[in-house]
Structure 1
Amino acid sequence: MKDLKLVNFKSLGDERGGLISLEGNRNIPFDIKRVYYIYDTEAGVSRGFHAHRDLKQIAVCVKGSCKFIIDDGDVRQEVLLDSPLKGLLIESMQWREMHDFSSDCVLMVLASELYDEADYIRDYDTFLSEASK
């Protein structure tokens, strides 16, 4: 697996506060077709545990922190997201897990496609089989 790709965002804020602009095909390397966010995740809860065949995503912790595990079928890597100034690029065919959510975590995800259940791989052994092809 290539190294995990973190995208750094330029802060456009001033003395009044922070501001970050996210633009498809500019600082986000794809058209943005869907945005969602995860919040109020209880202590000890883990999420994710799936891959996408085609979908690409950028995950940004806009508040708080959480850990990601990204797995391409050969290598598992862990990264801490703890700043709204950086986003984790998650390519297609990468298994993802999210752990260790801080109590104040708000995790925003920008997606390259609309929701499509058929694009999900929710079984790890199935993922390994498809990733090895």
Structure 2
Amino acid sequence: MRQSNLDSCKIVSLPKIPDRRGNLSFFETDNQIPFKIERTYWIYDVPGGEIRGGHAYKKQNEFIIALSGSLDVIIEVAHTIKKISLNRSYEGLFIPSGIWRHMENFSTNSLALVVSDTEYDAEDYIRDKNIFYNFCDENAK
């Protein structure tokens, strides 16, 4: 796993095509997102106060959009934490591998879309924060 930093996480503005009948936005591989999409999933019906995520990836990069409602993405590297609020369906958050992340503060009826550059692989996850901190500490030396 490479060591990323929080500055490598970026809000990406997506094209927005306004129309009186309703707006349209989109994203494309290698245009708005810097990877080929291999997997798509969505998170919804999150009960109040629940947290989703709570892990880092060794290889996977991902892009998160709040298609409806809002949520906060908490990212962390080397004991440095940053909160990013997503609440516009024409903006997404790119998160490279090597970043600890979790999502919280989901609004009622929120819908988060996540696309990634890998298929699901349980071995790609770091689910123990102490192991993640050790990795960050080792790479900071």
Are the counterparts in 1 of residues 64 and 114 from structure 2 also a CA contact under 8 Å?
yes
Task: Using structure 2 for the length normalisation, give the TM-score.
Answer: 0.90
Rounded to whole Å, the distance in 2 between the matches of 1:123 and 1:66 is 23
Distance 1:9 1:111 in 2: 17
4+ long deviations beyond 6 Å: none
Aligned length: 133
When normalised by structure 1's length, the TM-score is: 0.95
Other-structure match for 2:32: 27
The question of 1:104 aligning with 2:85 is answered no
Counterpart of 1:56 in structure 2 is 61
Which of 69-78 and 87-96 deviates more? 69-78
- 2:96 alignment counterpart: 91
Root-mean-square deviation (CA, aligned residues, Å) is 1.1
Q: Deviations over 1:33-89 (max 9, x none)?
A: 111000000001111110001100010000000111100124110011001111011
The match for 1:45 is 50
- In terms of fraction of residues, the more helix-rich structure is 2
Deviation track 1:74-122 (CA, whole Å, cap 9, x = no partner) reads 4110011001111011110100011110011100001011101000000
- Which amino acid in structure 1 is aligned with residue 117 of structure 2? S
Q: Structure 1: where are the runs of 5+ without partners?
A: none
State the distance in 2 between where 1:12 and 1:54 align.
33
Give distance in 1, aligned partners of 2:67 and 2:36: 20
5+ residue gaps, structure 2: none
